[in-house]
Amino acid sequence: MATEHSAHASKESLGITSAPLSEKPAPAREVKVIRRKLNGYVGFANLPKQWHRKSIRRGFNLNVMVVGESGLGKSTLMNTLFNRNLYSASSAAIPATEKPSAVEIESLSADIEENGVRLHLTIIDTPGFGDAINNTDSWTSIVSDINNRFDTYLEAESKVTRNTIADTRVHALIYFIEPTGHSLKPLDITFMKQVHGKVNLVPVIAKSDTMTEEEIVEFKQRINDDIITHNINIFKPAQFENDDDDTILSTQDLIAKIPFAVVGSTTAVTTADDRQVRGRSYPWGVIEVDNEEHCDFVRLRDLLVRNFLEELRERTGNVLYENYRTEKLKKMGIDQDNSVFREFDPNLKQEEEKVLHEAKLAKMEAEMKTVFQQKVSEKEKKLQMSESELFARHKEMKDKLLKQVKVLEEKKSQLEKSKTTTGDGSLQPAQKTRKGFLR
């Protein structure tokens, strides 16, 4: 939390695009946080319990995708995991007489309730994977199905009204490895690399009852080497320092068993010591599905349901989906604006408002000034015009009158000449007209 608070200042300086206020470097303000450990009981520590209750009311959901060549016991394992007949008997793999054209995507759902807790389960099956002679493109329909599910979610999330978004994203992909005892096949590696950035990848060794304990240990080792060599990300539950020792130990144990070697069976068989168990009966003994000594089935169930279902979902939503979305939006040309991720600061807000206010004030002033100057100059022009009109008219009239005077004077002097008498009508000199502004 401390780092989160202090980190925001530096983040702001990244990728500032449009916000006009961010142009100047944001002043680094320390966000003050009061830290206290309470002695008494106030009650907010009850929130996880409130969540517990709420989660029961809301129910859970899980979408598992299963991928693997046919005949590896995918449907049996799913039926065993959820302890019911999800796949009806008829849908059991019909030996392919004709070559399947492409990988199909089939999904089947079930609502399972246990002690009042409901789970809406969807299995997304991919029959036909790896069955063709050339499997170059056998993963494309799987990858595009995973992407489509992300796209559907993204679309729902961007809607104007979005009540509850149905989550159809793949929360876990169980990849079935053929128990060859060698190592991963090229198709395994190629496929896993295609999907490991989009799903929580859970590789399992199918039908592990065909391998001896030693073989399994060696096979697991080789698979893990391959996974490391090829940089394949597989799902591993997070470990926390604060967990109690038992949890840490059991999580470590679970991680150590990856990839899980599993056997599936929904049929009850009788063991040598006369117990009824789910398992497979061989002349040399009974392999018990739910026996941790015999196979890793219990671990797989722990990972998928009992202990880490919510973690699978969280990682799908918070990491895998977010990465997909980020890339998709960036490809669509949407620019990242990091200036929106900043801590609310009343001072900063006031400063912003001040800048806005000053801009508004300046605009107001400019507008008023323009209007004012325009009005003033209009009025000035009007007055100057009437002024010059006045003078012009006066001049015209006066010129006309002076002409009359001249004519009369001439007439008079002619008359006087002819009469040889001298008149005394002397003329006043015309007053000089004034020009200019009268202010």
Partner 1 sequence: MTVDQVGIANLPNQRFKIVSKEGATFTLMVAGESGLGKSTFVNTLFQSTLKTPVDNKARYKRGIHATVEIEVTRAELEERNFKIRLNIIDTPGFGDNVNNKDSWQPIVDFIDDQHDSMMKQEQQPARGDKKDLRVHACLYFIRPTGHSLKPLDIEVMKKLGTRCNLIPIIAKADTLAQKEMNEFKSRIRQVIEAQDIRIYTPPIELDDQASSDHAKSLIESMPFSVIGSGEDEIEVAPGQFVKGRQYPWGIAEVENEDHCDFKKLRSLLLRTNMLDLILSTQELHYESYRTLKLESAETGSKRSRRLHNPKFKEEEEALKKYFTEQVKAEELRFKQWEQNIVTERHRLNKDLEEVQATIKDLEEQVKRIQLGKK
Q: Which is nearer to partner 1, 182 or 363 (CB)?
A: 363
Q: Residue 36 has which token pair?
A: 């206290």
Helix (H) or strand (E) holding 60: strand 60-67
Name the residue nearer to partner 1 (CB basis): 255 or 415.
Answer: 415
Of 139, 265, 274, which is closest to residue 193 (Cα–Cα)? 139
> Which residue lies nearer to partner 1 by CB, 139 or 308?
308
Q: Let me know: does 95 contact 86? Beta carbons within 8 Å.
A: no
Please return the burial class of 348, using the count of CB atoms within 10 Å of its CB with bins 0-12, 13-18 and 19+: middle
Which residue, 136 or 158, has its beta carbon nearer to partner 1? 158
Smallest gap from residue 25 Cβ to partner 1 (A)? 19
CB of 170 to partner 1, least distance (A): 18
CA dist., res. 178 & res. 208, Å (int) = 9
Q: Cα–Cα distance between 305 and 183 in angstroms, integer?
A: 28
Neighbouring CB atoms inside 10 A of 73's CB total 22
Fill in the DSSP letter of residue 22: G
Q: Residue 98 CB, nearest distance to partner 1 (Å)?
A: 37
| Closer residue to partner 1 in complex, CB, 101/163 | 163
Residue 42: CB minimum distance to partner 1, A: 5
Q: Least distance in Å: CB of 335 to partner 1?
A: 8
Task: Output the smallest distance, CB 187 to partner 1, in A.
Answer: 31
State which residue, 137 or 353, has the beta carbon closest to partner 1: 353
293 to 31, 118, 177, 320: CA distances (angstroms) = 55, 30, 20, 34
**Is residue 280 helix, strand or coil?**
strand
Sign of torsion over alpha carbons 361, 363, 365, 368:
negative
